[in-house]
Amino acid sequence: MMIERQSLELALPGASIGAAAGAMAGGLVLFAGQPIGMAALSALALALPLALFGGVYGLLLGQGVFRPGTFGPTGLFWMAAFPLSRLVQDSLFGTGLTEGVLPFLGYQAMVGLGFAIGFVWLHERLMPHWLVRRAPDNPRAEAVLGIYLQYAHALRARKGGRR
């Protein structure tokens, strides 16, 4: 099954966020005193899987698996995706799993929940702007934009009732 261009356009914001997060992690490795080459490889080894999972998030959002404004399912997604991404990175360019795979994955799942908070925050600020640009040429983007608009109207109505 081939994914069509219209669906791939929905994946771009999440993939970009994942790639940027991986690149920033490479900067942290550099800051920790590792050589530039090692930091670059480490960044790439994390950026690629995070970009992949970020793109999958966008595709699933387009399929209705995730909804704007909800965190629970997204948190669970990243509690699985982030540890797998870190496992790839650490297996390729890390110090090795000295404590074993399960403790490593458990710890990374907790970190993944924090990553999910930042990812959702950023995604919900970038995705609507991207959808506005793509909606005229992409019916899938138009449909997802409609979901975002419904969410925004519901949020505005809820906030208006509190005043």
Q: What's the pLDDT at 1?
A: 53
Q: What's the pLDDT at 35?
A: 87
Q: Which domain holds residue 71?
A: 5-162
Q: What is the pLDDT of residues 35-76, one digit of tens each?
A: 888 888 989 999 999 999 999 999 999 999 999 988 999 999
Q: Is the pLDDT of residue 97 over 80?
A: no
Q: What is the pLDDT of residues 101-160, one digit of tens each?
A: 999 999 999 999 999 999 999 999 999 999 999 999 999 999 999 999 998 898 888 887
Q: What's the pLDDT at 76?
A: 96
Identify whether the C-beta of residue 90 lies closer than 8 Å to the C-beta of residue 100. no
**CA terminus-to-terminus distance, the chain:** 50
Burial class (CB in 10 A: 0-12, 13-18, 19+), 131: buried
**Spatial separation of the C-alpha atoms in residues 131 and 141, rounded to whole Å:** 5
Q: What's the pLDDT at 96?
A: 67
Domain tally for the chain?
1
Q: Which residue did the predictor score with more confidence, 73 or 5?
A: 73
3-state secondary structure 111-146: HHHHHHHHHHHHHHHHHHHHHHHHCCCCHHHHHHHH
Helix (H, G, I), strand (E, B) or coil at 110: helix
Phi-psi region of 87 (alpha: psi -120 to 50; beta: other; left: phi over 0): alpha
